[in-house]
Amino acid sequence: MIICTFVPIRVTIKLFADDAKLYTVFRDSISATCLQSCLAAISEWCDHWQLILLYPSKCSVIHMVSARQRSTTKNFDYHIGQTKLPVVDYITDLGITYNNRLRFSPHVDKIVVKASLRAKLILSCFQSRNPNLLSKAFCVFVRPLLEFSSLVWNPMFKQDINKLESVERKFTKRLKGLRNFSHGARLTHLGLDSLHVVILKPIYLQNYQ
């Protein structure tokens, strides 16, 4: 909590475990100066007390700017000590990846690759070809990857929804006796909801509460 005393009024800090985020809304060049002075104060405090709390190699800067303002907005450089912090187009924060337009398509791409590999492992490692058993394995080992923190990154774009559902679509199509069924018929036969419906359920529940 001592770190919070270094934060100017214009800068907001968010702390979780050993992660910290500093951000500000840019109105003029003073905002950039406040942000840099905050970084410098924290760095000096850590050096004074000989605390290794900051790892510049693990820090980065991301500018959230709308597409219309991107060409006219000036980006500033930030440093921790003598190290210039790299500017990135996307970042992973507490397991969620988003880009500088605050879209979660990079996160969708990442989890789809990981979930597809795990779905293939289920089909290759399980000796049983029982569709009900394999579908339960899918719900236990694959769906949590696709549903993690969906309240935060709830997919809005059709292309992202299609990517997510393609994992389930390809998996169920390879189950014994279901290849010639439509995707909806396969889900009905297995007693499953579509992945998009599963992701939307907690959102509806939260809004209802």
Q: Provide the token pair at 52.
A: 């290794």
CB neighbours (10 Å) of residue 74? 8
d(CA 134, CA 95): 27
Q: Which amino acid is at 125?
A: C
What's the whole-number mean pLDDT along residues 96-119?
A: 94
Residue 185 CA to chain centroid, in angstroms? Answer: 32
Tokens 């010639």, residue? 180
Band the pLDDT of 111: cuts 50, 70, 90: very high
Residue type, 111: I
Could you tell me what percentage of the chain is helix, strand and coil, using 3-state DSSP and rounding each to the nearest 5? Answer: 50, 10, 35
Q: Sign of dihedral through CA atoms 86, 1, 18, 42?
A: positive
Q: What is the phi/psi pair of residue 50, to 5°?
A: 55, 45
Residue 177 has pLDDT above 60, yes or no: yes
Whose CA is closest to 76, among 65, 91, 90, 92? 65
Joined tokens for residue 202: 């907690």
Q: Which range has the top average pLDDT, 2-11, 13-22, 110-119, 146-155?
A: 110-119
Q: What is the mean pLDDT of residues 57-68?
A: 84
Confidence of residue 199 (pLDDT cuts 50, 70, 90): confident
Q: What is the mean pLDDT of residues 181-201?
A: 88
Q: What is residue 97's three-state secondary structure?
A: strand
Q: Report which of residues 52 and 179 the model is more confident about.
A: 179
Which residue in the block uniquely carries the two structure tokens 């840019």?
26
The pLDDT of residue 1 is: 44
Span 154-165, pLDDT tens digits: 888 999 999 999
The arithmetic mean of pLDDT across residues 37-42, rounded, is: 86
DSSP assigned state of 58: G
The residue written with tokens 């070809």 in the block is 129
Instruction: Give the pLDDT confidence score for residue 76 in this predicted structure.
Output: 85
* pLDDT score for 108: 95
